[in-house]
């Protein structure tokens, strides 16, 4: 996704000149005293249009301290979202906790931010239109925080114009991995660490976020407080609803990883229960899960990797010979990138392996087998 960050200051300066008003959104800058900006109702999307070089102004009544997502979707040309927070003059851009407002082309755009006043001011800019005019959909939604339990998989879903906001109780000074696996479409993980104001995104010690498509994502960091906060945003999805599993769990810290299990005696795991795993340098570890429902979908994943390891799923083949056919196959990533495979169970048992592909050390990781998506 290309950005227009170098043009942002120029774009805002353009708004200081008189503009022609088009569509529902209105401008304070036209001549003859135009109507006030168009009032948007939280939770009520609507369609609008804009001409090239015009700027449509909007307002929304909000609750100070609450978290909101403002988005434009379904653009027919390069219309751009600009968010000004409490600035009723539409000149100073606000800081978004998540900012996807400078993208080229018809990509959907959004801004997630905490409201600091009772009125939120934002607009759509037509400076970069190439076809003279464009239509789009505007929506602002209230985001609420869901409390997740540590080390407990959280099956959840979101929409393109929605987002999942979560908080997990943790212990200070401990290393944790937050992951999203089993994606049915594209969503993105944004980690804020212990910042409950969602002002600053956390710096992950190991980061694998903002991938495209169904690739799993994760962030590993040391908690400095008692709660970790994160947002999972669906703005770049193409499906009406995206399903996935979120999980925060202690990151396995293993000084000298060794192989686990054998082909004849694999390590037994439980569906829905994350388990720390490890594999020695150049080795392979073997695992099994029982109690599956034949014909049902399951996702096997490894996250929180400390090095390059490769997941291979064999379905109900206890000889670990014939790989299963993954409906979604994310098992070819390098480095610490998490991997997963979604498949249809052909029996009540599942077998999979993890092989270390490193030059000098073994790898630790988190195993998870989950129903769906």
pTM of the model: 0.91
Instruction: With cut-offs at 50, 70 and 90, classify the pLDDT of residue 15.
Output: very low
Gap between the Cα atoms of 172 and 190, Å rounded? 20
Handedness of CA 262, 265, 271, 277 (dihedral sign): negative
pLDDT over 60 (residue 5)? no
User: What is the rounded distance in angstroms from the CA atom of residue 369 to the CA atom of residue 300?
Assistant: 5
Beta-sheet pairing, 363-371 with 297-303: antiparallel
- Position 24 scores a pLDDT of 56
Residue 4 pLDDT grade (very low, low, confident, very high; cuts 50, 70, 90): low
The pLDDT tens digits for 51-76 are 999 999 999 999 999 999 999 999 99
| Residue in 111, 62, 63 with CA at minimum distance from that of residue 83 | 111
What is the sign of the dihedral through the CA atoms of 327, 1, 311 and 244?
negative
Rounded CA separation 57/131 (Å): 21
Q: Is the pLDDT of residue 32 over 60?
A: no
Indicate the pairing of strand 163-169 with strand 145-148. parallel
- Prior bond to 373 cis, omega within 30? yes
pLDDT of residue 281 exceeding 90: yes
Measured CA to CA, the distance from residue 44 to residue 24 in angstroms comes to 14
Percent of the chain scored above 70 by pLDDT?
A: 90
Chain Cα centroid distance, residue 144? 16
CB 289 within 8 A of CB 261: no
Give me the phi and psi of 246, to 5 degrees please: -100, 145
What is the rounded distance in angstroms from the CA atom of residue 138 to the CA atom of residue 45?
6
**Residue 92: pLDDT over 60:** yes
pLDDT band at 12 (very low <50, low <70, confident <90, very high): very low
Q: How confident is the model at residue 357 (pLDDT cuts 50, 70, 90)?
A: confident
Domains of the chain: 5-141 (2.60.120.380), 145-250 (2.60.120.380), 267-371 (2.60.120.680)
What value does the mean pLDDT take over residues 236-247?
96
């Amino acid at each position: 996704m290309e950005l227009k960050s170098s043009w942002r200051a120029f774009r805002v300066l353009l708004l200081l000149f008189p503009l022609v008003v088009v569509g529902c959104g209105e401008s304070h800058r036209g001549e003859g005293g135009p109507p006030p900006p168009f009032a948007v109702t939280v939770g009520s999307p609507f369609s609008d249009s804009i001409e090239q070089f015009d700027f449509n102004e909007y307002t929304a009544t909000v609750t100070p301290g609450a978290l909101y997502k403002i988005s434009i979707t379904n653009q027919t040309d390069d219309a751009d979202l600009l968010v000004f927070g409490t600035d009723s003059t539409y000149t100073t851009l606000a800081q978004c906790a998540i900012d996807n407002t400078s993208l080229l082309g018809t990509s959907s755009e959004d801004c997630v931010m905490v409201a600091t006043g009772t009125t939120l001011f934002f607009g759509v800019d037509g400076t970069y239109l190439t076809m003279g005019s464009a239509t789009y959909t505007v929506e602002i939604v209230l985001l609420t925080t869901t409390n997740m339990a540590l080390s407990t998989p959280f099956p959840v879903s979101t929409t393109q114009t929605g987002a999942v906001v979560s908080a997990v109780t943790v212990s200070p000074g401990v290393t944790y991995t937050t992951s999203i696996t089993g994606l049915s479409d594209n969503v993105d993980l944004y980690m804020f660490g212990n910042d409950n104001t969602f002002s600053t995104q956390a710096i992950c010690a190991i980061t694998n976020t903002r991938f495209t498509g169904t690739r799993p994502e994760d962030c590993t960091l040391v908690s400095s407080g008692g709660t970790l906060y994160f947002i999972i945003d669906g703005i770049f999805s193409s499906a009406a609803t995206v399903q996935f599993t979120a999980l925060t769990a202690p990151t396995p810290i293993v000084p000298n990883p060794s192989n686990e299990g054998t082909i004849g005696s694999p390590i037994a795991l439980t569906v829905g229960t994350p388990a720390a795993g490890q594999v020695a340098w150049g080795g392979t570890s073997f695992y099994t899960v029982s109690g599956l429902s034949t014909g049902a979908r399951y996702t096997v994943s490894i996250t929180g990797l400390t090095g390059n390891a490769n997941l291979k799923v064999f379905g109900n083949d206890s000889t670990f010979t014939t790989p299963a056919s993954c409906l979604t196959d994310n098992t070819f990533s390098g480095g610490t990138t998490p991997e997963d495979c979604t498949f249809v169970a052909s029996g009540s048992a599942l077998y999979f392996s993890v092989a270390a592909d490193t030059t000098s050390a073994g790898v630790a990781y988190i195993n998870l087998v989950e129903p769906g998506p």
